[in-house]
């Protein structure tokens, strides 16, 4: 069965989201699109909420969020319990976001120029395994921050 991925973006990354969808579909993934569906202005927290809610309903391997910089939408996603959204910059951060942080979302900016192609960063994230071990306690500490007052 095809692995499922959820993707969402605001107007600042519509083109990038469409490009990523094509790439993932061509790589054998089943992609669910949480919007936006055109370049009309949208608020990235709404898309983060929708995509993360869908992810948490179950059955998804991971999620991808994009806005102009990737910053706003990743900040919004990380407010939601259970979400670890990593804003990737290059192949190194793509690898570490899985190996050390076991991110369940990755984020990109549609207006950002990356030295490494976004497709390569996605594949690096997919192919890397979470190392567990000493990182597990740190992830548990992140989870406990969800209850911080």
Q: Among all residues, which ones are annotated catalytic?
A: 67, 100
| Piece of 25-33, 49-57, 66-74, 131-139 that binds ligand RB5 (CB under 6 A) | 66-74
What is the phi/psi pair of residue 117, to 5°? -60, 140
Q: Which residue's beta carbon is nearest to the bound ligand RB5?
A: 72
DSSP H helical ranges for the chain = 14-26, 44-56, 71-77, 91-99, 118-127, 134-145
Residue with smaller CB distance to ligand RB5, 10 or 54: 10
- Closest distance to ligand RB5 from the beta carbon of 22 (Å): 21
44 interacts with ligand RB5 by CB under 6 A: yes
Among 69, 78, 93, 104, binds ligand RB5 (CB under 6 A): 69
Instruction: Provide the 3-class DSSP secondary structure of residue 77.
Output: helix
């Amino acid at each position: 069965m095809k692995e499922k991925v959820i993707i969402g973006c605001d107007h600042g990354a519509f083109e990038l989201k469409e490009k990523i969808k094509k790439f993932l579909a061509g790589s054998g993934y089943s992609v669910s699109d949480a919007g936006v569906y055109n370049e009309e202005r949208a608020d990235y927290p709404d898309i983060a909420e929708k995509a993360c809610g869908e992810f948490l309903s179950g059955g998804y391997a991971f999620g991808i969020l994009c806005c102009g910089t990737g910053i706003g939408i990743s900040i919004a996603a990380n407010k939601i319990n259970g979400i670890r959204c990593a804003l990737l910059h290059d192949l190194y951060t793509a690898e570490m976001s899985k190996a050390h942080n076991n991110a369940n979302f990755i984020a990109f900016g549609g207006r950002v120029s990356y030295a490494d192609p976004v497709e390569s960063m996605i594949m690096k994230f997919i192919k890397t395994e979470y190392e567990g071990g000493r990182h597990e306690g740190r992830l548990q500490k992140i989870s406990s921050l969800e209850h911080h007052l």
